[in-house]
Amino acid sequence: MERVMLAVEKYGNMSATAVPVALVEALSEDRLETNNWIDARI
């Protein structure tokens, strides 16, 4: 499993909305597990 979720490859540059979109993508793909850390560096 990859440890980095990138929404920019699929949707392009969305500025500040990239983090929430990547989170929704990760949730919909069941890539998050209990006690996972999410680092959203902006």
| Each residue's pLDDT tens digit, 7-41 | 777 788 778 787 888 889 889 999 888 898 888 77
pLDDT at residue 9 in the model: 75
What global pTM score does this model have? 0.62
Residues 6+ apart with CB under 8 A from 5: 22, 23, 25, 26, 31
Report yes or no: 16 and 42 within 8 Å, Cβ to Cβ. Answer: yes
Among residues 7, 3, 41, 42, which one has the least CA distance to residue 24?
Answer: 7
Residues 6+ apart with CB under 8 A from 38: 23, 32
pLDDT at residue 28 in the model: 92
Both tokens of 32, joined, read 């998050």
